[in-house]
A = this chain, B = another copy of it.
Amino acid sequence: MEWINDSNILIVGLGLMGGSYAKALKRMGYHVFAIDRDPESVEYALTNGIIDRGASEGGEELIKAADAIVVALYPSAVAGWISDNQKFFKPGIRITDVTGIKSAVVFDVLKILRKDVEFIAAHPMAGREVSGVKNSDDGMFKDANYIVVATPENTQDAIEWCKGLGRILGFKRICVLSPKEHDRVIAFVSQLTHCIAVSLMTCTDNEHLVDYTGDSFRDLTRIARINENMWTELFFMNKESLLREMNLFIDEFNSIRDLIEKEDAEGLKEKMRLSTKRRALFDKKQG
């Protein structure tokens, strides 16, 4: 199946991400189906024209009619859903996902997957501090990165198909990484930053500080509003990489603390110059 406008795309899980995928795909002319165990989410999506057809139980008919499937469930639920429902899949279809960690998902799926079906993973690096289909918004893809996560078992056709989905959704940058590369990058740029933001909010009773915060504190803690069930899964399923990055960060933070304690001005300025130089590079690439 290529990206032809009258194909049927099934989205499994109508949360923030599933709902946002649905909106973007519908806008581009696809027939969008959705399955979610919460009847209210399905009802909301139908009433608001976010999907064409939906089901909160059963849903075999929708699975049988799907030309492609996006599994937008929590990481721990992806392989199980595929295992339980692949008997209904059309022959030769492609499936993708949206999970934020990959090694722990992709290889479990590959172990149980029907041989005529291809699973090609993807990570849409976009989000909000709120959840649920009611908060879905495909505008969040506009300036964001989309990572296709391929294994040696993936065909070039499926990789291109998955990149095509990223373009249809409106992502700014699309790249391809292996599961291992992906998980190492994500441990640093996403998971470590969430650990820091949470620590900043919980390290001291700071509620009386709300009137004195500047932009810097607000920026560093925006992501401290966090879905505890999803992120606990993400952290545990990428534990090894995350702990490595956390240890690197702690060592560096401690060495900056020591420079301050010793009043080593030149050492501290050297750190700040390196930081400034590197961050300027990120600003440049953002434009």
The answer to whether A286 has its CB under 8 Å from any CB of chain B is yes
A181 to B10, CA, bound (A): 57
Q: In the complex, are the beta carbons of B144 and A226 less than 8 A apart?
A: no
From DSSP, what is the main secondary structure of chain A's interface residues? Answer: helix
Looking at the assembled complex, report how far the CB atom of A218 sits from the nearest CB atom of chain B, in whole angstroms. Answer: 7
* A279:B224 contact, CB within 8 angstroms: yes
Contacts of A263 in B (CB 8 A): 236, 239
Q: What is the CA–CA distance of A144 and B206 in the complex, to the nearest angstrom?
A: 19
Chain B residues closer than 8 Å to A186, beta-carbon distance = 212
Is A279 touching B225 in the complex (CB atoms < 8 A)? yes
**Set of chain B residues within 8 Å of A274, measured between Cβ atoms:** 201-202
Q: What per-residue 1/0 map shows which CB atoms of A114-156 lie under 8 Å from chain B?
A: 0000000000011101000000000000001101000000000
Total A residues in contact with B, Cβ cutoff 8 Å: 89
User: Across the interface, do B281 and A207 meet the contact criterion of CB distance under 8 Å?
Assistant: yes
Chain B's closest residue to A204 (CB) is B248
Given contacts A194-B216, A221-B282, contact A257 B261 (CB under 8 A): no
Q: Tell me if A204 and B188 are in contact (CB < 8 A).
A: yes
Name A272's contact: one of B125, B226, B272 (CB within 8 Å): B226
Q: B228–A272 contact, CB under 8 A?
A: yes
Determine whether the beta carbon of A223 is less than 8 Å from that of B219: yes
With contacts A235-B260, A236-B260, A257-B195 known, is A212 near B125, CB below 8 A? yes
In A249-287, the 8 Å CB interface with B consists of: 249-254, 256-257, 260-261, 263, 265, 268-269, 271-276, 278-283, 285-286
Question: Which of B188, B198, B261, B286 makes the CB contact (< 8 A) with A239?
Answer: B261
A197 at interface, CB cutoff 8 A: yes
**The 7 A-B residue pairs with the shortest CB-CB distance in the complex, in nearest-first order:** A203-B252, A228-B272, A201-B275, A228-B269, A125-B214, A189-B217, A224-B279
Q: Can you name 23 A-B pairs with beta carbons within 8 Å? A: A125-B212, A127-B215, A144-B215, A189-B214, A195-B253, A196-B196, A199-B256, A201-B274, A201-B279, A203-B248, A203-B253, A207-B278, A216-B223, A222-B279, A225-B283, A226-B275, A228-B269, A231-B272, A232-B269, A232-B272, A243-B261, A250-B254, A253-B253
